[in-house]
Amino acid sequence: MSKQEIAFSDFEQYYPHAPTALCIKECARLSALRQFECPGPILDVGCGDGLFARIAFDGREIWGIDIDASESRWAQASRAYSQIILGDVTRAKLPAGFFETCVANCSLEHVPNIDGALNTIHDSLKPGGRAYLFVPQRDWAENMWVLQALRAIGASGLSRTMQERLDHLFKHSHLYDEAGWREVMDRTPFEIEHLEPVLSTATTIAFEMFLLPSTLGWVNKRLTTRWTNFPGFRRRTAKVAFGWAQRALALAGDSEKTAEFLIALRRKL
């Protein structure tokens, strides 16, 4: 497993504010996105708390949109954004032909009307503007060790049920293989410039390893709207946590890209 999939410079910024399982995934996405230029103004769809955008696009003009009011408040507090829009991206009134770049970081798979969301994004981009979408692979969870173990002992039905429960837990309305995602994008006015698998099997397994302790962060978020309560302490322990994350990635060892797709779309001139 290459140690370049997640960088300590990203991890030490993310870890004070998010559980380890989430940090591993988000830092791997940051690394994948950096192969592309993302000029501003930037539209961040499903912006959440704003941490990803603050790390990825520091110094650029960024607008965020999210349907969750508590997330929008944290996004506002992050000071990453020039504008925060609280609303549904399928119906939002965004400035037409305004943005150079749009990023949707694992958000569009949760939107039932994904065609409406993509059309809104298209119309908000300048001609020639680009959208970068992280979306899950259909069978991303089947590589988790617990599901592999169930299949190995002949409990394939239980493995499939657990995978379906995970997708329900994460509120995935859209899960496709590469052909399926291409079909979705072909329904839009966009041109597909790039579609590649990203995030290794190792990141899925490392995510699984830290998922149980990270549920404490999920409970805390439900109670307080934040993942963590002691960012100063976590900042001081980031190096140790990063070491454990790297060990988990190395133990998993599988560098095949099976977790997600990164899709680059271009609004035609």
Cα Rg of the chain (Å, integer):
18
Nearest to 261 by CA among 62, 109, 52: 109
Strand segments, DSSP code E, in the chain are: 42-45, 62-66, 83-86, 99-105, 125-136, 191-200, 257-266
pLDDT of residue 29: 98
pLDDT of residue 2: 44
pLDDT of residue 1: 41
Domain ranges of the chain: 3-266
- Architecture of 3-266 per CATH? 3-Layer(aba) Sandwich (3.40)
pLDDT of residue 104: 98
Q: What is the pLDDT along the chain (269 residues), one digit of tens a residue?
A: 444 799 999 999 999 999 999 999 999 999 999 999 999 999 999 998 899 999 999 889 999 999 988 888 888 888 889 999 999 999 999 999 999 999 999 999 999 999 999 999 999 999 999 999 999 999 999 999 999 999 999 999 999 999 999 999 899 999 999 999 999 999 999 999 999 999 999 999 999 999 988 888 888 888 888 888 899 999 999 999 999 999 999 999 999 999 999 999 999 98
Residue length of the chain: 269
Tokens found for residue 151: 């299949």
pLDDT of residue 80: 87
Nearest to 84 by CA among 97, 100, 68, 98: 68
Burial environment of residue 261 by CB neighbours within 10 A (0 to 12, 13 to 18, 19 or more): buried
pTM: 0.94
pLDDT of residue 145: 95
